[in-house]
Structures are given as C-alpha cells and as structure tokens.
Structure 1
Amino acid sequence: MDRKEGYRNKEILFVINTLGGGGAEKALIQLLKQISPEQYNVSLLVLLGQGERIHEVPAYVNICNTDYSDASVLSREGKRILIRHVLKRMFSGMSIVKNARYLIKNLHYMRKIQKKVNVEKLLWRVMADGVPPLQETYDLAVSYLEGGATYYVQRHVQAVEKAAFVHVDYGQAGYFRGLDQGCYDTFDRIFAVSEEVKEGFLRVYPEYWKKTDLFYNQMDQQEIRALAKEPGGFTDDYPGKRILTVGRLTEQKGYEIALKAMKLLVDKGYEARWYVLGEGKQREKLQRQIRQLGLEADFLLPGAVDNPYPYYAQCDLYVHATRFEGKSIAVQEAQTLGCAILVSDTDGNREQVKDGYDGAVCRLNAVSICHAVERLLSDDELRKTYGKRAAQIVPQTENVKKLFGIEV
C-alpha cells in the first residue's frame, strides 16, 4: 500500500543514563529492535556517553552522542572514563555551580530523613544540565530510566509529547520529590515496567495516576534459548550443586546476606557452590567478606560475561535474593531457560514468581535463604517441576504505538 502524500515518519528520541549490562539497558535494546524504521526515525542519546551495549543498537538508530566510549562502566578502565565524563558534565556551563542550592537542600534531606547520602542520585540533575541540549524537535521524547535521563528530557529536549519509564520501586530506590522538582508534570505518559513498580511510583506521586500505565520489558525468548546452546558456561569440574545469581554487585542485590546464607550451608556440610555473574562497586567489599568467612572456594565472583545464558542452562538453582526490584530481566531469563528459581519476598520479585508453583519465595535473611536453598537442592523433582512451569511463562509484549498513547 502506498503511503499517503505528505506522510512522514514519526521522530522518536530515547534517552538513557548509560548503556551497559543492566536489565533496563537490555530491555531498551529489545524495544529498539521492535521499532520499524519504515514508520519511525529513531534517535538515541546516552547521557553519560558510555556503555558496551552500544554495538547491539540496531543500525537504523541514530546515535546522538558525538563523544562515546564502549568501555563497560563497571570495569576498572571504564570507571576511570566514566569519572571523566561525569566531571566534564558537572563543570560544563558551570552546571554544578548553577545547581548549588539544589545540592545543598537535597544533601540535607538525605542526611536528615533518609540517613544516607546517595551521591549518584544527588548529582543526576547536575550531569543532565551539563549535557548540551539537542536542537531537533521530536514527535516523542522518551526518558527510559529514572534520574538523569528523565531530568534531561524534561529540561533540555523539545518534543510534541514526552514519556518517562520507571524501572524500580521509586521510593525504595532513594528517589523523592525534592530531587525531581516537579519534572513529571511535563510528561504526557509515565510507564512502569510492572504492577508493583507502578504502585511504588504512585505512592510517591499519587496525583499522576491517570497518566501512569504499564509497559512491560521486552525480551526475545528464542534468541535467549539459542544463545544458551552456544559454547560457554561453567569451566570448573565442581561435582556438587551449582547456584547461580546474575546481577550487578550493588547494595540493592543483597549479596552480603547471600554470603551469610552460604556460610550456613557450608557449616552444615552441604556440597554446593554459588556463582555471581556481574560487576559493580561492591566487588572489593564482597571479596573481603568472602575471605573473612572462608568461602573462597564456595562463593565465586567470575565477573560479567558476554553470554551468561549457558550458565543459566547448566545451574541447579537460580537465586535472586534482592532488597527491591522493578521487574528483573535476570529472573525472566532464568524462567525462559527453565531454571528452578528462588527469590526474596520483596516488591517486583513477588510479581514474577508464584511461590510453590513456578518457584519459591523466602524472607531476605541468611537463615531463610539457607533453608530454602537446602530444601530446593535436596529435591530434584521439585526443582524440575518449578523449572518446567517457569519455562512455560510467556512474557507480555507491547506495541510501540502505546508510547504515543494509542490503544492497540
């Protein structure tokens, strides 16, 4: 069918903070792959100009960054590059000076109310203001992550419509109204990646209930299953049960609790080994704790890998015992590959795993995790049942038109 005279492709801009190995970044890549270049002209701005997943972006997507590094933000060299990018944006146009009052006010709030200073979240507005505004006007501008991307789209992007994504429990992740300064007022639509994420956001911003909707993470199950069959996975000859966790080494993931649970298992004489695929700022802290507990041979941190899927396919149990979640891509990947799954009883996790049906849910403490792991690893038939049911879960898909508020 010929296009009508005067038809033009819609111009869409996506903005994300970095483009590394996190779940939101994976979900964005999958979403970009589903957007037809015959209908939409798609542009992407990576706020801090860094991340290894840039090579996975479809060729038809216009990358707005003129200065970009594909170094992982979690590698040692990548961290040095990231610091340079951050400093450049902080002092570009004297952004840090212009935001001095904002910084002082919210630093006081973090210390007094939250009892913890989250430097990253405190500086997102400063960094967003340090990125030069784009000159184009878009039909739709999408901030695909909380913080910097959202602040940038609100303040520095010209668009007919704007949409924002929320991937985490907003309050638990440390965001609050003072940081945002009413930025969500300017967005036409707000998309949460799960029902519990939506509820968490609306607890902070109940006035936005009419324009807040669900938009589930996109994933390609066929591709994941194909990648799981490629060479790779565990290289040791360990004869016992293998426990796997995939995720960044951050406080959110609660690894120090997992370590204590592993110590309990070892003290009971249980033959199991726990592997965590991922990198992050807590690596050195976790390695010290591993040495203190004498778990050097029992709790391993192999780092991030390009293809984690053979590990999923080869493990005996996948554990995701986190403090809070949005909708975990790692859990969805484990389900796709038929893993028996144990998650902590927290927002996000409860929505993904049905306790006693396609996985198990436990409290987030060492004793509960230990007991749940011991029970699952001792029952091959139960793990097989959970894994089979998990593999039958079909992720909900979304049509890109929903971004424009079009019912499909």
Structure 2
Amino acid sequence: MELVWGDVLLKILFFIPNLAHGGAERVLVNLVNHMDYSKFDITVQTMFDVGIYRDKLNKQVRYIGGFPWYFKGNTLIYKLFTPKQLYKMYIKEEYDVIVSYLEGPSARVVSGCINSKTKLVNWMHIELENEAYATYVFRNMAEAERCYRSFNRIACVSETVKKSFNNMFKVNAPVDVFYNTVETEVIRKNSEELIEDIKFNPEEINIISVAKLMKSKGYDRLVKVQKKLRADGFKTHVYIVGKGEEQNHLQKLIEENNIVDSWTFVGFKSNPYKYVKNADLYVCSSRKEGFSTAVTEALIVGTPVVSTNCSGATELLGYNNEYGIVTENNEEALYEGIKKMISDKKVFDYYKKQAKTRGNKFSTSETVKAVEEMLEEVAAE
C-alpha cells in the first residue's frame, strides 16, 4: 500500500537503551541513515546518553539523549515505576509512530504510551529462551503480556526470533520479519582499506570473529576449539574484533589453554570489514543471536563462514549449508565444522564462492524500503 502524505512528514521516534557498540545499535543507525527524509521526520532517542554510534547518525536525524551515564542495577530501579510513569519521564513529544528498537527495557517504556493516535512498533532481536529470560525487565509475566499486547506491530529480525516470540506471547498485532539493514556498498568499499595495526600471517589459517565480548558470543568455547585445532596440527590463529566485559576472563582462559601465541584481541574497530575481508575464515561461536549482522557482513565481503546454529544462521547460510557451514550449537560440533572447512581446499573454495553469491542478497535499499512501507502502513491503521 503506497500512501501520499503531501507536505506532511510522518513523525517517527526510534527508542533504544543506548547507542553503544552492539549489533542492534549499529543496524538502527544504518536504517535511519538511509531512510527517505522527504517522507519521514526521524528522531532517535536513548534511555542512556552513551555509545560510540551517536556520532554516526546523519545530520537529518535528530538525536535525544537520556541519562548522561549508564548505571548498573537500572532494571531493578525502573521496576519501581509503571510503564506509564516511565513513558512520561522520557518521551515529551507526540509522534505518529514510536518504535522500541529493542525488546525489554525500551519496550516497557514505549508500552506506557496513552495517546491512542500514536502507533507503536516493537523490534525483537533475540530468541526468548524461557519465561525468566523474556520477562527479566518486567515485574511479572502479566506485565510483559500487557506490554507486548499494546504494540500495533511486532518486527522480528529472523524467522527463528519470530517463532520464539509467538511461542512466548500471544498478541493480536501482526508479527513480521524484517532483515537487518547493512550498508552493503560502504562495507565493500571500506573492506578495501589497508590494515596497518596487525599483519595476518600467510603461513597460518587466519580465523576472525567480530562481536562485543560477552558470554552469549561463546568465545570461551572458541578458546577450547582453538586449543584442539592447534593440538591436531592446524596452524590456525584467532583474531577477535571487539571489546567487552568478558575480555579479562577470556584472556585468563587463553593463558590457561596455552594458546596466547595464536590468539589476538584486535579491539573495537569502526571499520571491521577490512579485517574480515583479509582473514581466511569467519567464525560465529554464539550461544544465541538474533540475526547476526557480523555474519551478514562477512558474506558481503566474501569471507567463508562457519556458524553455530543460533537464530538466523540457517536463514543466512542455507538450511542445507548452501552458503556456509552451520553446526550444532556446541563446542565439539563447532570444532568439526571448522575442521571440515579448512581441511579440504575444494570445500573452502566452494564456500568462498558461495559467500560472495549470498552477500549479494543483502541490499541496503531493499531492507530499508520494507521498513518504510511497514511504518506507513502502521501509521495509516
């Protein structure tokens, strides 16, 4: 359905906890930076005014920061307030559509809107494993149910996330899948930039992964996989692009497993694509994901991928391993998947070619267009 709004722009608010170095935050910036400003008046607002992606927003996108610092335990404090009280605390203007771009804290705030003219959208980025996980920011399951039922549309980043949401919550609103927006041409262009801070050894098999260092990314498992690969004679070297709270723990594991010489923390990089393109293999060791932006980007630059079977993996790499290798979500299976990729040059060359083919699917314009059409439809309901 195409709508003609004349000179009146649709006023859209994207609400998110922060714009720190995470996949959802980066995808949101990609999305709003490529939307049609002749149709949409866009504001991005955070609960906490922190994060490196604040400076990446286009000048046409208005930014409103929340509290000037992030404090631990905020979830417990916020439970003292009702969603309506939180909404009144944060959101001071009227909008045609308000989008909670993450499940949980921002969804609870947005659900407190009492303006019937304002349409609400919630974006689900993760699988809801169980009731405790799905409701940790809410007072109880009943409040979580009321929250999600208040939205006019539920957007999920993958079919797996959609299935898990529908299994957990029963809502009347449509639940649809919208794939993450990545800057395809920018990624390819930036991947050609020279690497100056590290040097990949051509005598080694250079494995790379890009993520915030947190338990869900499974890097503790990758440490053990790397130890076994080296013990079995594979000259693999792991490079991790990112930073996070798990780094000290991971460093200790690396030392305990005697793989210090074959593991490198590259740190956070605003341009991870040049590292991914020049590595031999991308590995996603995650225990859970929504729809891996980093795997998508690896495919775009043509780097073969081995991934655990977390949410979105089969949608990205094929239900029968057409475009990459998807393993069971455990340490031993991940080891076998990497071993299969690097043991046979024909297999490796096949997946390198398939990665490029699959990468062509993720067009920036198509993913943005799908979201824009959804927002127009919701606003017109």
Same fold per TM (> 0.5)? yes
Band the TM-score falls in, shorter-chain normalisation: 0.7 to 0.9
Among candidates 70, 78, 81, match of residue 82 of structure 1: 70
Partner of 1:236: 199
What are the ranges of 5 or more consecutive residues in structure 2 without an aligned counterpart?
136-140
Query: Hey, what's the Cα distance between the residues in 1 that align with 2:118 and 2:87?
Result: 23
Displacement after TM superposition at 1:278 (Å): 1.2
Number of the residue aligned with 1:39: 39
Pick closer, same or farther for the CA change 1:195–1:46 going to 2, 3 Å.
same
Pair 237,279 (structure 1): closer, same or farther in 2 beyond 3 Å? closer
Q: Does 1:161 align with 2:119?
A: yes
In the TM superposition, what is the alpha-carbon distance from 1:5 to its structure 2 partner? Answer: 10
Distance in 2 between residues matched to 1:247 and 1:157, nearest whole Å = 37
- CA separation in 2, counterparts of 1:5 and 1:215? 24
Q: Give the drift of 1:371.
A: 2.4
Instruction: Please state whether the residue corresponding to 1:59 is helix, strand or coil.
Output: coil
**Hey, what's the Cα distance between the residues in 1 that align with 2:158 and 2:226?**
30
Q: What residue identity is the alignment partner of 2:182?
A: M
* Residue matched to 1:204: 168
Q: Judge which range, 317-326 or 352-361, deviates more.
A: 352-361
Residue pairs, 1:11-26, within 5 angstroms: 11-26=11-26
| Pairing partner for 1:189 from 153, 170, 195 | 153
Match of 1:380 in 2: 345
Q: Which range moves more in the overlay, 29-38 or 306-315?
A: 29-38
Amino acid at match of 1:400: E
Query: Which of 324-333 and 298-307 deviates more?
Result: 298-307
**Counterpart AA for 1:373:** I
Provide the residue aligned with 2:138 in structure 1. Answer: none
* Conserved? CA contact 1:233–1:308, under 8 Å: no
Cα distance in 2 between the residues matched to 1:5 and 1:131: 29
Matched, 1:138 2:110: no
**What is the match of residue 213 of structure 1?**
176
Distance 1:210 1:152 in 2: 18
Is the 2:12–2:98 contact (alpha carbons within 8 Å) kept by the matching residues of 1? yes
Tell whether the 8 Å contact from 1:141 to 1:157 is kept in structure 2 after alignment.
no
C-alpha contact (below 8 Å) 1:137/1:157 kept by paired residues: no
Paired amino acid for 1:273 = H
Q: Which has the higher contact order (CA 8 A, sep 6+)?
A: 2
- Three-state SS of the structure 2 residue aligned to 1:183 is helix
> How far has the Cα of 1:179 moved from its partner?
6.4
Q: How has the CA–CA distance of structure 1 residues 96 and 356 changed in structure 2, closer, same or farther, with 3 Å as cutoff? A: closer
- Any idea what SS the aligned residue of 1:264 has? helix
Cα offset for 1:364?
A: 2.8
Instruction: Tell me, yes or no, if structure 1 residue 98 matches structure 2 residue 57.
Output: no
Task: Name 1:405's counterpart in structure 2.
Answer: 377
| Pairs within 5 Å for 1:37-76 | 37-65=37-65, 68=68
For 2:337 and 2:163, locate their aligned partners in 1 and report how far apart those are by CA, in whole Å: 28
How many corresponding residue pairs?
Answer: 360
Query: 1:21 aligns to what SS in structure 2?
Result: coil
Hey, what does 2:333 align to over in structure 1?
368
Is the 1:234–1:311 contact (alpha carbons within 8 Å) kept by the matching residues of 2?
Answer: no
State the SS of the aligned residue for 1:155. Answer: coil
Contact kept, 8 Å, 2:284 with 2:308, in 1: the verdict is yes
Question: 1:44 and 1:260, CA in 2 relative to 1: closer, same or farther beyond 3 A?
Answer: same
Write the mapping of 1:239-254 to structure 2, written as runs, cut at 5 A. Answer: 239-254=203-218
Q: Does the 8 Å contact 1:189/1:405 carry over to 2? A: no
Q: How many percent of aligned residue pairs carry the same amino acid? A: 25
Task: Go from structure 1 to structure 2 and tell me whether the alpha carbon gap of 1:150 and 1:318 turns closer, same or farther (over 3 Å shift).
Answer: same
SS class of match (2:95): strand
What's the TM-score once normalised by structure 1's chain length? 0.81
Change (3 A) 1:96 1:256: same
What CA deviation, in whole Å up to 9, does each residue of 1:57-78 have, x standing for no partner? 110111122765xxxxxxxxxx
CA contact (8 A) 1:16 1:47 kept: yes
The answer (yes or no) to whether the contact 1:194–1:215 under 8 Å persists in 2 is yes
- CA separation in 2, counterparts of 1:259 and 1:252? 14
Q: 1:67 and 1:370 mapped to 2: Cα distance?
A: 43
Distance 1:187-1:53 versus aligned 2 partners, 3 A rule:
same
| SS of corresponding position for 1:405 | helix
Check conservation: 1:30, 1:220, Cα contact below 8 A: yes
